[in-house]
Structure 1
Amino acid sequence: MSPADRFALLVEDFGSLEGVVPPGATVGFGSSALRFEGRIFAMLAHDRLVLKLPSSRVASLVADGEGDPFDAGKGRPLKEWLSLSPDSGLSWSELAHEALAFARR
């Protein structure tokens, strides 16, 4: 299954959750992302799932080889953003639920 197809399944799963806004509901930056009350918590970028998680969780996942800090093309890694490795066996749904819980804080 392609990354785009996997992300489409996430959108379908999360689309009915209270406060979650699916891709396409906004314009501009993040228009293709899942949002909670205006805050992006999951998106697909360069065929990789990108999630906003606590910085300690991102550091742990990076240390485990599950992904890299996301840098948004600015050349500076963002501490609370993970770009999940395509080789990761972690569940996209479980990580997206973690990211949603973080967005709800």
Structure 2
Amino acid sequence: MTESWEDLVERTRGGTVTPGSMFGCQGLRTGRKFFAIWWHEQLVVKLPADRLQDLVAGGNAEPFEPMEGRRMNGWAVLRGTEDWDPLVAEARAWTESQQ
């Protein structure tokens, strides 16, 4: 299955979830907090540290470094395009729990 950012936004937006801009990129936020962004044709999500470690260890993500050598804590670049919805839902729930 091939995903697109536009499809993901359409499925996810509504209620407290709105599109916005972060780092000059398109993103999804709940309230004022972003939980997913589209960075250089890649999906980046915000998740708890232990979940991010699991994704990285499993080869499904890599730490997000918007500038080389400057890792952004809590954010990971997802590899591949399959099954974005569950991870985006996790990112949304995590972000909402932190507000």
Scaled to the shorter chain, the TM-score interval is 0.7 to 0.9
Q: Larger RCO: Structure 1 or Structure 2 (Cα < 8 Å, ≥ 6 residues apart)? A: 2
Query: Alignment RMSD, CA only?
Result: 2.1
Q: Deviation at 1:75?
A: 1.7
Give TM-score, length-normalised by structure 2.
0.85
* Structure 1 alignment gaps of length 5 or more: none
| Larger strand share, 1 or 2 | 2
- Runs of 4+ aligned residues of structure 1 deviating over 2 Å after TM superposition are 28-31
Query: Which residue does 1:100 correspond to in 2?
Result: 92
Matches within 5 A, 1:69-88: 69-86=63-80
Matches within 5 A, 1:17-32: 18-23=15-20, 29=23, 32=26
When residues 58 and 30 of structure 1 are mapped into structure 2, their CA distance, relative to the original with a 3 A threshold, is farther
How many Å separate the matches in 2 of 1:70 and 1:53?
Answer: 12
| Corresponding pairs, count | 97
How many Å separate the matches in 2 of 1:71 and 1:12?
Answer: 27
* Structure 2 alignment gaps of length 5 or more: none
